[in-house]
Amino acid sequence: MLPVMNRRNFASAVVGAVLGVALSAKAQTDRVWRIGYLSAGPRPADGAPPPELREALRELGYVDGQNVTYIGRWAEAKGDRLPALASELVAMKVDLVVTLGGWPARVVKEATSTIPVVFVGAADPEGVVGSLARPIGNATGFTDNATALSAKRLQILKEFVPSASRIAVLWNAQDRAMTLRYQEIERAARVLGVTVQPLGVREPDDFERAFATIERDRPDALIMVTDALTNLNRKQVVDFVATQRVPAMYEFSSVVGEGGLMSYGPSDEDMYRHAAGYVDKILHGTKPSELPVEQPTRYYLVVNLKTARTLGLTIPQSLLLRADEVIE
């Protein structure tokens, strides 16, 4: 027969259990998570990961300087620097790495098989995880679905410039994912009956050659495929096409806010907010392989009317009615 616990022993057991839970909770509260961030793009002025990511994590309880420390690395559009930067993050024993794009994610996976990776905006996620529904290994995240969107961007640009017969495409020809986007535009161009003028770049000096080609053989419009290299040089692209009066389509609204004509794509804020949710789940025990790769549920058309007027262009009313944001 089992002994009967008296009231004093029972009370002691309850107090001990409660105290144990409290101490466990305090231990979790006292832990400072180390979140790494890797991008092939330029280092921001504040040397911190994107504010959209940090704000989304803050809303989930991760307060910089209290229970989380961010360690960022940027390759400044020099892809050959990524392996060393990834190794630095691994050596610093971060708890998780967030990457912008699939290329940095692949590099981190090559550097470690144990530290979880959450990528944002990967154009070719299958190359990182194998299966979107059941990611293989230590990485998962969010794709911007940019390859499929490339055809839609061309279609919208053609609606904006119905008479366009030759459309230039500026992309990083050294990046496989960016080349996939270019090839998708080529396929869509054949359907729409337009000719593509390829302007592949591989390093900063190539932009001047691309500009010289535009001056010599002026296209009717241009699409800029965004990666670390083209994003780093986006201002000179925006300024140049303005002087040449060439309508241009971009992938992200931030470029339109800086004077670009139009963009069609997902919201950075939306993607980082979803990524923060994955970060939180993984830090609390969920395996990356248990979280399927997701894609945006909404895409935004943004138009800069001021730029259109400067270029002497009239935006069709049908596009204005469809626009999610019109900058005046």
pLDDT tens digits, 113-149: 999 999 998 877 888 999 999 999 999 999 988 888 9
- Shared domain for 39 and 136, answered yes or no, is yes
Position 134 in a domain: yes
pLDDT of residue 144: 84
Position 58 in a domain: yes
202 C-beta neighbours (distance < 10 Å), count: 12
pLDDT above 90 (res 327): yes
pLDDT above 80 (res 246): yes
- d(Cα 17, Cα 3) in Å, to the nearest integer? 20
Position 26 in a domain: no
Position 20 in a domain: no
**pLDDT top residue among 236 and 297:** 236
- Shared domain for 234 and 106, answered yes or no, is no
- Note if the pTM is more than 0.95: no
- Shared domain for 151 and 65, answered yes or no, is no
Percent of the chain exceeding pLDDT 90 equals: 79
- Shared domain for 253 and 279, answered yes or no, is no
Position 18 in a domain: no
- Shared domain for 137 and 281, answered yes or no, is yes
Number of domains in the chain: 2
Position 13 in a domain: no
DSSP code per residue over 230-244: HHHTHHHHHHHHHHH
- Shared domain for 277 and 320, answered yes or no, is no
- Shared domain for 172 and 321, answered yes or no, is yes
- Shared domain for 185 and 225, answered yes or no, is yes
CATH number of the domain at 177, please: 3.40.50.2300
pLDDT of residue 168: 98
Position 195 in a domain: yes
- Shared domain for 202 and 314, answered yes or no, is yes
pLDDT of residue 125: 87
pLDDT of residue 29: 53
Residue 21 tokens, joined? 């839970």
Mean pLDDT, rounded, of the chain = 90
Query: Residue 198, class by beta-carbon neighbours within 10 Å (0-12 exposed, 13-18 middle, 19+ buried)?
Result: middle
pLDDT of residue 106: 94
Position 238 in a domain: yes
Torsion of CA 200, 203, 207, 213, to 10 degrees: -40
Q: What is the domain range of residue 194?
A: 146-265+300-327
pLDDT of residue 3: 45
Residue type (1 letter), 153? R
pLDDT of residue 5: 45
All residues at 6 or more sequence positions from 98 whose CB lies less than 8 Å from its CB, including other chains: 35, 36, 37, 38, 49, 53, 117, 118, 119, 120, 275, 279
**Range 219-231 average pLDDT:** 95
pLDDT of residue 124: 79
pLDDT tens figures, 1-12: 444 445 445 445
pLDDT of residue 127: 84
pLDDT of residue 189: 97
Residue 123: name the closest of 256, 265, 237 by CA.
265
Pairing of strands 117-122, 68-74: unpaired
- Shared domain for 68 and 137, answered yes or no, is yes
- Shared domain for 117 and 208, answered yes or no, is no
pLDDT tens figures, 18-47: 444 343 334 345 799 999 999 999 999 999
- Shared domain for 203 and 312, answered yes or no, is yes
* DSSP percent split of the chain into helix, strand, coil, nearest 5: 45, 20, 35
